[in-house]
Amino acid sequence: MGGWPKLEWDGERTGPLQGVKVLDMSSVVLGPFATVQLADLGAEVIKIENAKGGGDIMRKAGDNPTGDLGPIYASLNRNKKSIALDAANPEDKAVILELAKEADVFFHNVRMAGMERLGLGYEDVKAANPDIVYVHCAGYGAEGPYAKRQAYDDLIQAASGFAALFEMRDKGRPQYAPSLVADKVSGMFAANAVLAALLGRANGLGGQFVQVPMFECFTWFHMVENLWGNTYPPGNGKYAYTRSINPRRRPYPTKDGYIAIVPYADGQWEKFFELAGRPGVFQDPRFSTYKARLENTTELYATIEESTATKTTDEWVELLDANNIPAMKYNRMADVFDDPHLKAVDFFEEREAKAGYTYRSMRHPVHYSSTPASIFADPPSLDADRGEILGGSD
């Protein structure tokens, strides 16, 4: 092959990143979460998978109709092409560097020392393409003592102080969030970093090496509110935003289910207590100002909980909506598919794959008035696009 192949897609790519070429050597969740966003927005993404290891490990995670398209893999790798290569093989490494010559972005979440041993470090790829935006999703920043340590979602939740929030809230053991939040948050940082570096290059700043350290990204993310009383030295020793750490911050029980209610302005709080049949509560000095409510959050939430049990969820939603008080019905996981708003915006859709199976896909959530994101290709089977990638050139 010679240069970037002319790739054929199942449907039309309409997003604002049309023309951007991404060579993606990432796997599992963090990296693919970043690059699927680029793909949804129209970038051409070639996913290079490890030929020796059977491809991205997430292919095997969870039941699926083909044996190599696990549910998480399918969600994070649509709109991409797949080729399986062994970067330790000189011929395959030559293919990678040939593709890099015309790529805009070289993206991976392999430890840097390993990529350098393979001859695919930044300087190696830069030698093939001086304008490349080389993005390395690291576990930890290269300047610190953890630089060579492995990083996974659980490890980062624990080390960043995030798991401690559960211990502080529940007065029990620390816990991990039941979602791969560290991976996905870091993936958002990585996607943003790609776009920023591409904009810088377009403004004449050239290509560059971009490191996205998972530990630092996730710690920054959750410490925005949880640094709290230690924002100004020497600090008062209090960590975690008062409202979010409260054990009563949870959906409130109704006669037939649960509801989320967040009065915010003083007038909304006063009106809520009137609707709840407790008009004098707002005059209580503990609840009459924003500062007082923060300091007495436990008592405030307990008062709401006592009030909500008097009506059904639908009755509360109708009443609160009519009075401009923020509220939402509580959905269990299965209920989300039937949520009227998500149905109206076609958030979930069932797609018929070329391989003959049906799968659910989620619409890209961001709207662009003239260059909308789109789903234009099904998640690829391992090595499905080898012939097209190796055979395409001019």
Q: How far apart are CA 378 and CA 372, in angstroms?
A: 18
pLDDT in tens, 267-316: 999 999 999 998 888 899 998 898 999 899 999 899 999 999 999 999 99
Q: How far is CA 267 from CA 280, 307, 384, in A?
A: 13, 18, 59
**HSE value, Cβ hemisphere, 13 Å, CA-based, for 196:** 11
Q: Which residues contact 123 (CB under 8 A, 6 or more apart)?
A: none
pLDDT of residue 34: 98
pLDDT at 2 over 80: no
Single-letter amino acid code for the residue at 272: F
> How much is the mean pLDDT over the chain?
95
| Among 2, 106, 87, residue whose Cα is nearest residue 46 | 106
Question: 88 versus 282: which is more confidently predicted?
Answer: 88
DSSP-assigned beta bridge partners for residue 47: 24, 82
* DSSP-assigned letters across all residues of 41-96: TT-EEEEEEETTTTS-GGGGSS--SSSS--HHHHHHSTTEEEEEE-TTSHHHHHHH
> Strand ranges (DSSP E) for 246-319?
252-253, 258-261
Least confident of 36-40, 265-269, 369-373: 265-269
pLDDT at 103 over 80: yes
- The fraction of the chain above a pLDDT of 90, given in percent, is 93
Which residue has 């083909």 as its token pair? 66
